[in-house]
Structure 1
Amino acid sequence: MRILVVGAGAIGGYFGGRLMEKGVDVTFLVRKKRKQQLEKYGLLVESVHGNMAFPEPKTIQAGEMAEAFDIILLSTKAYHLEGAIRDIRPYTGNKTLILPLLNGIAHMDQLTAVFGEENVLGGLCFIETTLGENGKVIHTSPVHDLVFGERSGEKTGRILKLQEAFSGTKANFRLSENIEQGMWHKYLFISTLSGVTSLFRSPIGPIREQAFGLNSIKEVLKEASAITRGLGAPLADGIEEAQVKKIREIGYEMKSSLQRDMEKQQAIEADHFFGYLLEKAELLDLHAPVLAAIYANLKVYEKNNL
């Protein structure tokens, strides 16, 4: 099975590296600067689950000739999605499967519109990684989960073949029979975590130990779940309480990737996460004042920094 990983960044570099470590045929679609970096230093990964070093990972740049791939692993940021779609189209065939790992839901409509309902799988990941010196992928916590599945929940022949390709690695690749629910649950969780940490400019610990901070966490969950339930999302009963419990248990110094991007004065996914929710809230005639405050905070950041 030939796999194309879009980008060799913190997420694609890590999971692509774990597949290469097993011996899977992986190629990275990269931009010129990253290609030069990989040619000079190789793909380097530092992880509590074992370091990896690949001196000459296979790479291509957009526009280079290559046969269609079996799987395309898409882990780009939402604001790069249109460009990524353009770049990968020449490398798709009738049976090429697109496995997106983006946070949120809005990207699914874009992908299915271009590649067709049948060719787009459901996917998500839980991992805390960043890029260090010379483009080294630094994996900073024990969690390294990639969850995938047919959006119908079926165990099709092709998804079982993909499961076989993903099995036996040091990362936790997991087949789900309810991937759509998993994607909505992650959207709810990430919106809450990234929303409050970016609003308060703080790791989660100091926020949750302050009474009004904890109340803000609960209000974001309440507003976001009301909107997503209004859209018909298959949320589990009691998911709000379960996610409050999860937020209470995660590391005191945990930051969201959105917050880290703001600290580096980089682009953020304000519209993909919160603009989408507020747009749907308006259509559903739902009031979401805390989500609106989070979104306003992010748009002010964009105006002042980007």
Structure 2
Amino acid sequence: MTTRTPRGPRARGILLTSALAIALAVVGVPFYWLVVAATRSSREIFDSPPPVLPGGHLAANLHALQESADFGRVVLNSLAIAVLYTLCAGAVCTLAGYGFAAYRFPGREALFGLLMLGLVVPAQVTLVPLFKLMAELRWLDTYQAVLLPNLALPFGIFLMRQSLSALPPGLLDAGRIDGCGEWRLFWRVALPPMRPALAALAVFLFLYQWNDFVWPLVVLRDGSSFTVPVALASLQGLDETDYGAILAGTAVAAIPMAAVFLALQRHFVSGLLAGAVKE
């Protein structure tokens, strides 16, 4: 007597594989086209039918990019700003999340709810007040004007608070009973279990600052201090635009983002899920 393999699991497997293949194509084709366009001249990019294989203009596009925007300096500017922002905003969000999760004080929930309103308020609403504040402080065209307004990011504080809320309730109290000081309690007891959440926060903060366009465009005026998105936008001319150079710069700008995500991807999903389920 022969046994037949159930068709249900096999059909589900085929359907899942097909869906993943379609999703991969939807996500991967634009990136492949970006690589192809970065190696083509502006005229070839708009050929019909469009080219599907890489060309030989990558060096020329990178040279034009360097000549037009001093792109090497721009990339270093963005790297320095993104790394510094990740470290500073990560510290602020972690400490704020620890404060909301570990301490009970009057008005805690109301204050946290007010902070969470920042998630639904569009950033464009605060552009004018922040610009006037930077002008009063004489910080226009400085990196502190780019960094400081967004250090206490509501999503980062929410993520760290949820991660800390998932710790065993008596863990911090046990540390206090053993005579552990508050700073040591944070550094030695609360912080080690939060490594996945910290990795997820670092990825989010780095990508947030690396891709930020509107606020650096508002406060930065000198081309030598531009970030990558602002420098690429400045290459769009009224009469003529070198799309080959712009797309080559876009491809180069994607490398640090991919490197950060690949380096921390093992912790990214688990960090985002931290605190979602409590035992």
**TM-score, with structure 1 as normaliser:** 0.24
Structure label with greater radius of gyration: 2
**TM-score, with structure 2 as normaliser:** 0.26
Give the structure with the larger strand fraction.
1
